[in-house]
A = this chain, B = another copy of it.
């Protein structure tokens, strides 16, 4: 597709929310990107249009059979006014792996990034500047064919919406308490756990609400087969520092290959800290916790970047980690990664992609 992206600007700009009260995914910018797919014709009519409702036939397959995938990434405004994206190619590569698993047609990664640049250009005044804020970007594909047969849709829409978001932890990075889920299962090998698709999240809501009611922020999932191996947290991958080395569950087919996870591994190796990707049991972790070998634990994900874990609860048995405080390595990782993302410290890896230069004055 070499079709030009058409731009239709709104004539009713919304009021922007206060930067201190952004929250997560509550406010959306003035425009959105949209592109259609029909079988035979492929993707077509790429356009930036005013943010508006999507009108779908009530028989659209997305409502019935969940054929949909999404991504999540962020844009940052640097102190000198440039707009940076964090490894966007990786998001669109992962999007196409999700597409493949869900029977959704491929979206050309270059076109997706071009679309994103255009959208950011149009809505750049929505990117907040305060410490810790950013623009959360949500690309997604939905199956729109109005037909109730259980088969891949012949029509889709690829959409990008954007939301200015606040610092995930407004009072600074604070350790979270995580509930180890033993009854509900998120995913199993052979299923769709490694795809970023709606059904994975729907299935987790119940366990998450139960954990919240008990005072825990999120759930730590165990594997669906033996219920003993650690998988991931609600929307984060997990890492454990054990006697100086950092361990994280191996990508086994049922967990999401986080882009923050990958970056943290690269960063740690760059610092000559050993990283071990392997199957980790919850039992082993508890043993290490009891005898003092578990030094730190943290989750990684686009939304919170690094989220130190101060306590686990497995079968009503709480395990406090590092005295419930943020570990030294967790803090250093957070500072380094957010520093690179906000363009405040050097980016030795070439991770940041400039979506737009400083605004013309």
A→B interface (CB under 8 Å): 24-26, 28, 32, 51, 53-59, 62-68, 70, 101-103, 136, 138, 140, 142, 146-152, 159, 161, 163, 183-192, 197-206, 208-209, 224-225, 227, 234-235
The distance in angstroms between the C-alpha atoms of A57 and B54, with both chains bound, is 6
**A184, chain B: closest CB distance, angstroms:** 5
How many identical chains are in the complex? Answer: 2
State whether A59 touches B202 (Cβ < 8 A).
no
State whether B205 touches A103 (Cβ < 8 A).
yes
Given known A-B contacts A56-B53, A59-B161, A62-B63, A202 and B209 have beta carbons under 8 A apart:
no
State whether B59 touches A204 (Cβ < 8 A).
no
State whether B197 touches A190 (Cβ < 8 A).
no
The distance in angstroms between the C-alpha atoms of A208 and B25, with both chains bound, is 35
The distance in angstroms between the C-alpha atoms of A152 and B207, with both chains bound, is 11
State whether A202 touches B192 (Cβ < 8 A).
yes
Residues of B within 8 A of A53 (CB): 55-58
Residues of B within 8 A of A102 (CB): 202-203, 205-206
**A72, chain B: closest CB distance, angstroms:** 8
**A287, chain B: closest CB distance, angstroms:** 25
Question: Residue on B with the closest CB to A142?
Answer: B63
7 CB < 8 A contacts A-B: A32-B58, A102-B203, A102-B206, A150-B205, A150-B234, A183-B190, A197-B199
The distance in angstroms between the C-alpha atoms of A282 and B326, with both chains bound, is 51
* Additional 20 contacts, C-beta under 8 A, given A26-B148, A62-B198: A26-B147, A54-B58, A63-B70, A64-B138, A66-B68, A67-B202, A67-B205, A102-B203, A102-B205, A136-B148, A148-B163, A150-B208, A184-B190, A184-B191, A185-B189, A190-B224, A191-B203, A197-B203, A199-B200, A224-B225
State whether B205 touches A152 (Cβ < 8 A).
yes
Residues of B within 8 A of A152 (CB): 205, 209
Residues of B within 8 A of A25 (CB): 59, 147-149
Q: Which of B56, B68, B184 contacts A202 (CB 8 A)?
A: B68
Residues of B within 8 A of A146 (CB): 28
Residues of B within 8 A of A204 (CB): 150
The distance in angstroms between the C-alpha atoms of A62 and B65, with both chains bound, is 11
State whether B205 touches A63 (Cβ < 8 A).
no
Interface centre among A57, A136, A185, A208 (most CB of B within 10 A): A185
Q: Which of B56, B67, B188 contacts A188 (CB 8 A)?
A: B188
Residues of B within 8 A of A234 (CB): 150
State whether B54 touches A224 (Cβ < 8 A).
no
**A323, chain B: closest CB distance, angstroms:** 29
